[in-house]
Structure 1
Amino acid sequence: MQTSPEKASNDRTRIIRDGLRRRHTSEQIFRGLGIAAIAIALGFVALLFVDVFRKGVPAFVQSNLHLSVTFDAEVIDVGPAPARADFPSDAEYTAASLKWQRDLALLNWNTIVEASLRKAAPEGFEIDSRQIQSIPETNARHQIREMFVRDPSLLGQTVEVDVLASANAANWIKGNIDRSLGDAQQQLSAPARQLIDTFVENGTISNGFAWTIFTNVDSRAAPASAGLLGAFVGTLWMMLIVVLLAVPIGVAAAIYLEEFAPKSRLTDLIEVNINNLAAVPSIVFGLLGAAVFINWFHLPISAPLVGGLVLTLMTLPTIIIATRGALMGVSPALRQAALGMGASKTQMVFHHVLPTTFPSILTATILGVAHALGETAPLLLIGMKAFVASVPATPLDQAAALPVQIYLWQGNENRNFFEPRTAAAIMVLLAVMILLNGAAIYLRSRLEKRA
């Protein structure tokens, strides 16, 4: 039986509508899955940031002891500081000054610190010497000694001095350790904990912003004063080396391969190897750096120069690939127009093609440097995990790096104190990386407007 034309038309319309409905449903499902994937990814990133900030923010608060320090003449009995007028030559004056400072270093400055603490304690409070000296940081005696070295006229005077509380005292004040634990499980004795609580109540101990994180180098003898300055400067040296080496070499290699190199098996092999190097694990570059730069060229271990060279090798493939992609994206009409106006091939590349790729090259460079900034494995293999308590003045000086400093603090045995400090170091590293990414976005937008 044949269907009427009207019925056939209705059937076709129904089939088309069903097909459209299925397509729209599929599109909505796909769009919903995409939005869900993005939401989940952003949720995990937000969870990471919240966790890091929750743990790291308390580390930016430090506990300070406000003490009245008396420079007792009976303890400081090394005589007056040498005067230049008393010596016929600079050499004799320098020798006498060094001897005077050595004599000062041999004095028991802990006695002065302890006397200041007992003066601040309630009258009649009983605590032995070892217990009371566990409250201030161990570098308090050095701080007071340096004050006297700078100003010997302090002898016999009483001055107000702020010193850091020890890491164990900071743990107790901030609640990083459970107060309900028994004495055997506490880091401080019961009298020391009681005296700390008294100091907090009467204002002898107060909290302030931990500038020492930014102004001090790492320290094992005085953990509460440990900072990131040495690691931060070491990282800056490495990033400077990466920018000075990786950018010109990477851009030049990309220009040659894309614009000037003849198509041959050799260039194909080079291109394949560059793409493969971009996927090589970073620890392999660390092995290469240890074998070549340290064992062969005998460059100093744990130096920013070696770290910068290793990170340069790791960043080069990224810059080369990104620059070649930018060059390939330039319209052939621009090349043809430049050549048609009489420009040579070199002029065409450097005067017309390359300037249009500056935004992409700049973005790739900053992102490559930001990626290198967070690398830890290659730096560990070239010896940058060593404890360095100094600020590197040159790229050849021993130094740490921010990722390695995070690694070292994470493994510190005083977990209650250094876990928040590790999170704070991560916050600093993330801030530097965000600034680099923000600079890439800003400079790219400026260059694109000019273009």
Structure 2
Amino acid sequence: MTEMSAPAAQIQRPDLSGARLKRRYAAEARFRLYGLIAVLAALGTLVLLLFSIISNGYTAFAQHHIALEVTFDEAEIDPTGERDPQVLRRANYQGIARSSLRNAFPDVTERRERRALTALMSGSADQTLRELVMENPDVIGTTQRVWVKASDELDSFMKGHISRDVPESDRRVKDRDIVWIDQLIAAGNIESQFNTTFFTAGDSREPEQAGIWGATVGSFLMLFVTLVLSFPIGVLSAIYLEEFAPKNRWTDLIEVNINNLAAVPSIVFGLLGLAVFLNFFGLPRSAPLVGGMVLALMTLPTIIIAARAALKAVPPSIREAALGVGASKLQAVTHHVLPLAMPGILTGTILGAAQALGETAPLLMIGMVAFIVDIPGGFTDSATALPVQIYLWADSPERAFVEKTSAAIMVLLAFLVVMNAVAVLLRKRFERRW
């Protein structure tokens, strides 16, 4: 048996380790290549998206204006000469603005053409003249050069969104309008100015008069309500579940439901707010108070999960040391564990607030899709939010609202980037490594 098995033991088997090693390295190289391709594809998509938004929206930060030689006739503005603010406010400034523009084109005499000429000027021209007179009544009886907003069609034409090379039937700016615009340009009566209205005004049916300030105020009022409700409730719930609650089937059920609520579509919270806050309690529709309460419900699971993770990251030795020197369980948690976990809790709270700031669906369910012109002055005033404002503008047919939609998206993204950057800085600044 020994003599017969010896030759078999001496048989040389092929060494496959080199081939296996090559295949392993090749598989790892392919995996890295696939990962690199995925990352580059994601970055390319992100760059394409940002380029599309910025290229469409940066022009909204500028607005073209028309210069008018306005004669503030005292007989028309202040017949009594008493400079009564009520009288000055009721004057026909729209007629004064139209007459000033028509005086620059004396050859335009036909009624239809005169109407088309004044359409080059924004409907807010009377408001500009009124504000000028109210701020400085001394201009009454004088002739002043006043810049008023151009219409959205003229502004779009000057920005290149409407081409003069296409047939007249395919563009809203007609050939006669282009002739008038060229005359205004030659006379130096059209210029582009920074669009402060976009940041200081509320919504409007006219694109050149629309702004995001009303929606921004509504968003931050809702965000304030959301944080006031969700932060203390979420942190206290996390402390109880992590530090004090007994481990049994009921706490397990609560934990499972909290994790499930974090994955529930946001529109479900909107339906809950519609059924409970509006229909049952009768709270006002389209109010930041209701919007904040709905977003607080949506943000609570995120804050609870983040707070529990931050509390769990604190080493048990901290608790044991506090208990060892005679501190109670509550004192150990509030004086030692909670301060060390607070950076992680704040990070999770800011991320949850950023998520709430960008939500639209739950707000649509509670009526915040209404057209709101006035700036909200309180938590129960009618208001809208910045994401809802973007949704409304995206559905508008006017070409000028396209650039305003993209510009509002840029502002919203800037807010979200700032909030996420604050969360990162807080984590880096106060993070403790154990």
Q: 1:135 corresponds to which letter in structure 2?
A: L
Q: CA deviation at 1:250?
A: 0.5
Moved over 6 A (4+): none
Q: CA offsets per residue over residues 31-88 of structure 1, 9 Å max, x none? A: 22122211111211111111111111111121011222111245336322356xxxxx
Three-state SS of the structure 1 residue aligned to 2:430 is helix
Whether the 8 Å contact between 2:74 and 2:81 is mirrored in structure 1 is: no
Aligned to 2:3: none
Aligned equivalents of 1:77, 1:189: Cα separation in 2: 38
Aligned equivalents of 1:189, 1:26: Cα separation in 2: 64
Aligned to 2:377: 393
Distance change >3 Å, CA 326–CA 77, structure 1 → 2: closer
Report sequence identity in percent: 47
Q: CA deviation at 1:6?
A: 9.6
Three-state SS of the structure 2 residue aligned to 1:64 is strand
Aligned equivalents of 2:63, 2:421: Cα separation in 1: 30
Whether the 8 Å contact between 1:114 and 1:129 is mirrored in structure 2 is: no
Aligned to 2:411: 428
Q: CA deviation at 1:252?
A: 0.7
Whether the 8 Å contact between 1:70 and 1:158 is mirrored in structure 2 is: yes
Moved more, 181-190 or 207-216: 181-190
Aligned pairs for 1:320-399 (under 5 A) are 320-399=304-383
Three-state SS of the structure 2 residue aligned to 1:357 is helix
Distance change >3 Å, CA 120–CA 4, structure 1 → 2: farther
Aligned to 1:418: 401
Aligned equivalents of 1:209, 1:368: Cα separation in 2: 34
Aligned to 2:428: 445
Aligned pairs for 1:230-309 (under 5 A) are 230-309=214-293
Aligned pairs for 1:6-405 (under 5 A) are 7=12, 11=14, 14-76=15-77, 78-81=79-82, 98=86, 100-101=87-88, 105=90, 107-121=91-105, 124=107, 128-220=113-205, 222-405=206-389
Q: 1:448 corresponds to which letter in structure 2?
A: E
Aligned equivalents of 2:181, 2:72: Cα separation in 1: 24
TM-score by length of 1: 0.89
Whether the 8 Å contact between 1:131 and 1:191 is mirrored in structure 2 is: no
Moved more, 334-343 or 35-44: 334-343
Match of 1:2 among 7, 12, 23: 7
Q: 1:195 corresponds to which letter in structure 2?
A: W
Aligned equivalents of 2:359, 2:166: Cα separation in 1: 39
Aligned equivalents of 1:113, 1:381: Cα separation in 2: 42
Distance change >3 Å, CA 81–CA 410, structure 1 → 2: farther
Whether the 8 Å contact between 2:102 and 2:114 is mirrored in structure 1 is: no
Distance change >3 Å, CA 450–CA 31, structure 1 → 2: closer
Moved more, 311-320 or 333-342: 333-342
Moved more, 420-429 or 272-281: 272-281
Q: CA deviation at 1:5?
A: 5.8
Aligned equivalents of 1:332, 1:151: Cα separation in 2: 70
Aligned equivalents of 1:3, 1:119: Cα separation in 2: 114
RMSD: 2.2
Q: CA deviation at 1:228?
A: 0.4
Distance change >3 Å, CA 449–CA 324, structure 1 → 2: closer
Q: CA deviation at 1:285?
A: 0.5
Aligned to 1:93: none
Q: CA deviation at 1:431?
A: 0.2
Aligned equivalents of 1:290, 1:366: Cα separation in 2: 26
Whether the 8 Å contact between 1:319 and 1:361 is mirrored in structure 2 is: yes
Q: 1:423 corresponds to which letter in structure 2?
A: S
Runs of at least 5 residues in structure 1 that lack an aligned partner in the other structure? 84-96
TM-score by length of 2: 0.92
Whether the 8 Å contact between 1:80 and 1:152 is mirrored in structure 2 is: no
Q: 1:431 corresponds to which letter in structure 2?
A: A
Q: CA deviation at 1:264?
A: 2.4
